[in-house]
Chain A
């Protein structure tokens, strides 16, 4: 089975490769124009992941690394739909997440931020979308943390997302932010996204997703490239 060709990447919603305020882009973003590639079998196929690749606790970050208790922080549920541009669900696709702990510290060995590591929190998780395209994670709200981009720079609270979709051309890595975060307007990574589309990266609080007495709920839908036959403007 081969997938239909995908609609082009919609560069109007995407950040540019070089965005001077985000200093690492200056020497790392491609500087020459991209060469157009007419999609072949290589782009219309892609890896397939089934539930066999996923452990039972992989989507619960409050439990997948617990040693002697629960991680500290505000417990949250993050869920949403993975869909194409026409709103059709993308079922059975791998969703991987990683994030800082509630104190704003990553478990990564390179992270030297002077905030505590949580012995009961790893920060990585994954799941596969259901037939309706929905994913769901239980975790704690990640903390903000400082970084070296400019004086007094802080990353807003965020969760990293990695998605595949049906083929190689639908790959996406992005970040989910939280509503009302005052750091968003100061963050060059968030701000690199064209202004009309920044809100696509911000989750929304949902009292319906919130579980009474357990955890606050946030919804974050993700739109991947759809088949090229999709009428984009109807």
Chain B
């Protein structure tokens, strides 16, 4: 017997209290946080920030971003590894863009290492929002990892002129290392979205 995949539907405008209540101050706990790794997590602490833009170039204030990544050692905290040495590192985060100007998502995490299967350091991303009927997959790569990026199988499959849409740029702001990754849903700079 086979069953058909349940259709996706938009996350809508009111996900905040259901999926990110702690971030938005609703007084309930969140199952998933925008903090992926803490001071006890091995690796370089980074802040991943960005805005999501619509086809008119306007910032989208009601998007929700989820990320999934390996640790600094390139290992995913999956299955048997959940309670391994990466205590405190979940690998998974969720952030809404509705916490005021300028409408950014913000993740406190660590820079991932090259993965066990030889991919360049990257963060997997899912984009949700009102007006998006089915979630969209993309990836964050790091502009300062040029050599690894050149050999990455996923990035290599992207048309060269569009690869730049997947590169986060490093900004050093005092003690905090920030990587900026803006997401453009449409237009000349439309972010590459994947059929995973």
- Please report A residues at the B interface, Cβ cutoff 8 Å: 1-2, 6, 8-10, 13-17, 19, 22-32, 34-43, 45-49, 53-55, 64-65, 83, 85-87, 94, 96-98, 100, 106-108, 110-111, 122-124, 126, 160, 162, 167-169, 171-175, 189-190, 192-194, 197-198, 200-201, 221-225, 230-234
B5 touches A15 (CB 8 A): no
Q: How far is the CA of A25 from the CA of B130 in the complex (A)?
A: 8
Closest to A176 in B: B9
Q: Which residues 117-158 of B sit at the A interface, judged by CB distance below 8 A?
A: 117, 119, 122, 124, 126, 128-137, 139, 153-154, 157-158
A24-B124 contact given A37-B154, A38-B153, A122-B17, CB 8 Å threshold: no
Cβ of B7: which chain A residues have Cβ within 8 Å of it?
13-15, 174, 193-194, 197-198, 200-201
- Set of chain A residues within 8 Å of B116, measured between Cβ atoms: 41
**A189 contacts B10, CB within 8 Å?**
yes
A86 touches B1 (CB 8 A): yes
Are A27 and B185 touching (Cβ within 8 A)? yes
Contact of A30 with B185 in the complex, beta carbons under 8 Å: yes
B5 adjacent to A14 (CB under 8 Å): yes
Looking at the complex, which one of A34, A41, A53 makes contact with B115 (CB distance below 8 Å)?
A41
Chain B residues proximal to chain A, CB less than 8 Å: 1-19, 21, 26, 28-29, 31-32, 54-56, 60, 62, 66, 68, 70, 76-80, 82, 90-92, 115-117, 119, 122, 124, 126, 128-137, 139, 153-154, 157-159, 162, 185-186, 190-196
The one of B18, B32, B186 in contact with A30, judged by C-beta atoms closer than 8 angstroms, is: B186
Closest B residue, CB atoms, query A44:
B78
B29 cross-chain contacts in A, Cβ below 8 A:
55
Contacts of B194 in A (CB 8 A): 34-37
Name the contact of A14 in the complex, choosing from B11, B80, B134 (C-beta under 8 A): B134
B128 closest partner in A (C-beta): A173
Q: Is the CB of B193 within 8 A of A35?
A: yes
A162 to B29, CA, bound (A): 16
Contact B68–A46 (Cβ < 8 Å): yes
* Inter-subunit contact A111/B115 (CB<8 Å): no
- Residues of the A chain whose Cβ atoms lie less than 8 Å from the Cβ of B55: 26-28, 31
Q: Are B133 and A34 within 8 A (Cβ)?
A: no
CB contact between B134 and one of A17, A38, A108 (< 8 Å): that residue = A17
Bound: A231/B119 CA distance, A: 30
Partner of B91, one of A47, A65, A175: A47
Establish whether residues B79 and A48, one from each chain, have CB atoms under 8 Å apart when the complex forms: yes
Chain B residues closer than 8 Å to A37, beta-carbon distance: 137, 154, 157, 194-196
Interface contact B131-A224, CB-CB below 8 Å: no
List of B residues within 8 angstroms of A9 by Cβ: 5, 195-196
Cα distance, A87 to B21, chains bound together (Å): 33
Question: In whole angstroms, how far apart are the Cα atoms of A223 and B8 in the complex?
Answer: 11
Q: Give me 16 other A-B pairs in contact (C-beta within 8 A), A30-B186, A38-B154, A43-B124 excluded.
A: A14-B7, A28-B54, A28-B131, A29-B133, A38-B153, A41-B119, A42-B68, A42-B124, A46-B92, A49-B31, A53-B31, A86-B1, A86-B2, A106-B14, A124-B28, A197-B7
